[in-house]
Each structure stands twice: as C-alpha cells, then as structure tokens.
Amino acid sequence: MSAGGRAAQLKHTGLRPGWTTGACATAATTAAYTALLTGEFPDPVTITLPKGQTPGFALAVESLDGTDSATAGVVKDAGDDPDVTHGALIRSTVRLLPPGSGVVFRAGPGVGTVTLPGLPLEVGEPAINPVPRQMMREHVAEVAAAHGGTGDVEITLSVDDGAEIARSTWNPRIGILGGLSILGTTGIVVPYSCSAWIDSIRRGVDVARAGGLTHVAGCTGSTSERTVTELYDLPEIALLDMGDFAGAVLKYVRRHPVDRLTICGGFAKLSKLAAGHLDLHSARSQVDKPFLAALARTGGASDPLAAEIATANTGLAALRLCEAAGVPLGDLVAARARDEALTVLRGAPVAVDVICIDRAGTVVGRSEVRGPGAAPDAHDA
C-alpha cells in the first residue's frame, strides 16, 4: 500500500496508526549512538522511515555507560492495532567497535534467535529482520557522519518481558526462540491491516519448506489444528495458523509449492471458501444459505429441504438439517472448497484436501485429495 493509500485507509477507519518494533529499535539505536558521540541523548529522537515519514519518539530509558556504550529505550505504541507488543519497552545498547568492524547485531534478553531454516535470516542470527537492520545501519551512518564517528558499532536489542510476550506469537512455531522478532517493512503499523498475520503465514510456509516438509495444513484455529494433528500426525511447523486468510495461504503456496495442502476449519467458514470467498472474516464475507441450498440439491436434497436450508439461521443449522435428512452437505462443501482452492492455485503442483469440522472438532465433511487438472467430483459435473 502506498503512503497515500495508507493515509486514506486510516482516515476512512478513524483508527490511529502505530510504530513497528523495527521503528522503535531504530529510534532507540539512533539516540544511544548519538549520546555516545555527543554525550547527550536526543529526546525526542527523530528518524526517517522507508517511505520518508519522520516521526519523533520519546525516550523511556537512557543510560551512558562510560565512553564506549550507551543504552536508550522506547515504549512501543501500536496505535489502535491489537498488537501483543503494544506497550513493550524496546532497548538498544550501542557499543563502539574498532574501525572496520561494521555494524554487528546481537539479541539481548527478550529478543529471539533463529533456530530453523526458511526465514530471511540465517540460523543462529538474532531475530532482527532485514528492513529494521537496514534502517539501523542507515541511521548509524547518518549519526556518524554528523558527529565524527566511524559507524562501527555493536547493537544489542532487548525487549522487557519479550520472552513471555513471544509465547502469544508465531515465533516458537517457526523456530524463533527466546523472545520476539524485531519487525517492520514501513515502520508504521496500520490498524487491523492484517499484514503481520499474513506475513506469519508466509514465514510458516517458508520454514516448513526449508525443513523438508511436503504436507502442510492451513487451519482456521486451534480446534482445527488439533483435528489435523490427530488425523495426519503432522509436526507443529506444518500447521499454518490461517485464521480467516485462506487466500493468503493459497496465493503464497501457489508461488512456493508444497506437495500437499490440507485446509481444515469450521463448516461455516469453509462454506464461504466453497462459495468463492478468500477472506473468511465475518465482517467481509457471509455464509450464503441459498448457495448451500443449491449445493445440497446436488446431493439429493428435496425442494422443501432446500427451502429450509435457504432460510436457516446459521450455516451450522443448515448442516444439521441435511444430516438429519441424510444429505452429505459437509462433504459437498469440502469438495467445492477444495475445487475453489485448486482454482486459486492455478495449476501449481499442489494436491489439496479440505476438512470441515464443527465447534467440538468433529469432522462433518471431508473431500478427497485432488491435484491440478483433476476432473471434478460427479456431483459438480
């Protein structure tokens, strides 16, 4: 999204934007290095984001430790985004290194370390993503040029309570252990933009592929994860926390194929995928009961039953009507959702199956596994 598009989105929603952990780390690093060279911490400290914005950050921590080390801290403000790192204190300790050493990054307490391949960082590296690293390098160079430094520094980032906060993120699943990641590509958190969730989906696919896995599962929640694990005994890194973002999974797997993709979720959500929706959130797509009625007819539903389905209160109510009448609506929805997924995959070498569950995790519909170019099921012909 462009800067103008982002501003328009925020104006439309009335929500307040925030700052990424990468922006906060860059601000803290800039302040700490400036203090090392000048003896004074700039407060607020102003940085330049990748899109050209120049926000100022108040310092929550500042400490000049002799002549070769300084620490500054910034409290992350995520704006109106429901971000688990909102309010986290991000610290940067900058230590001078001999000329020619360059910029070296370290993980302090609360910042994770990469332990699995497939991420944009090597195994063993601190979980400080490439764009924040580049932002910090650029700001270190600017401070050095302004105040006579060499720009050779060690930057150790830490996050207070970061290890505890990280338990609420994807980090443990994708092999980032010990704390949070320092993230961000623009420096700005757009409220409810969903970009962080989608990025986590992509990193999950990358880690699974790098780990040699050939079967992954996109799941809408913890219940569907449990169902898939029981059915296929998949390792944790094979489970993609898809949430409502079926399209994000399918589009990324289209570009980065795996041999097999299982999609598992609640019947109502997956009925939306069956109807052609790629965003399954209730605010952006609804269960189409007339669609379910038409689908049920292909499975033998009578006209009176179809009429009941079309006016049912919920998708689950429509399913129960069909179960009572012996109409396999769950299987029909699963098969149609699989075929929609294959359409989005556009011939990528990925075989797909779909599992529909109820709220208790009971399987109420299941498709066969199909790959690209397979003929449709008979009821779809």
156 and 14 in a single domain? The answer is yes
Query: pLDDT value at position 10?
Result: 38
- Is the pLDDT reported for residue 9 higher than 60? no
Structural domain contains residue 381: no
Position 208 scores a pLDDT of: 96
Same domain assignment for residues 201 and 173? no
**Residue 379 falls inside a structural domain:** no
| Nearest Cα to Cα of residue 6 among 195, 139, 136, 133 | 195
Q: Among 174, 189, 204, which residue terminates a domain?
A: 189
81 and 209: one domain?
no
**265, 357 contact by CB (below 8 A):** yes
Boundary (domain end) residue, out of 136, 164, 189 = 189
143 with 240, same domain: the answer is no
Q: Give the contacts of 85 (CB within 8 A, at least 6 positions apart).
A: 21, 76, 78, 159, 165, 180
Task: Write down the pLDDT at residue 81.
Answer: 62
Q: What is the CATH number of the domain that holds 50?
A: 3.30.2110.10
pLDDT of 200 reads: 85
Residue 342: CB partners within 8 Å, gap ≥ 6? Answer: 352, 370, 371, 372, 374
- Write down the pLDDT at residue 190: 59
Q: How many domains does the chain have?
A: 2
Q: pTM for the whole thing? A: 0.68
Same domain, 30 and 179: yes
Average pLDDT for residues 205-216, to the nearest whole number?
96
Residues 255, 312 within the same domain: yes
Label residue 63 by pLDDT band (50, 70, 90). very high
Q: Has residue 223 been placed in a domain?
A: yes
Question: Does some domain include residue 354?
Answer: yes
Predicted confidence (pLDDT) per residue in 109-149, tens digit: 999 999 998 888 999 999 999 999 999 999 999 999 999 99
Vertex 322: Cα angle to 317 and 325 (nearest 5): 130
Does residue 122 share a domain with residue 7? yes
Host domain of residue 34: 3-189
**Average pLDDT value for the chain:** 89
Instruction: Answer yes or no: do 175 and 226 share one domain.
Output: no
Of 148, 163, 189, the position where a domain reaches its end is 189
b/e string for 208-230 if b means 16 or more Cβ within 10 A?
A: bbeeebebbbbbbbebbbebbbe
Phi, psi of 125, deg, nearest 5: -80, 150
Is residue 277 located within the same domain as residue 250?
Answer: yes
**Residue 174 and residue 203 in one domain:** no
Helices marked H in 233-328 — which ranges?
Answer: 246-255, 267-274, 289-298, 303-310, 315-325
DSSP reduced 3-state for 197: helix
pLDDT at position 137 is 97
Task: Give the mean model confidence (pLDDT) for residues 27-41.
Answer: 97
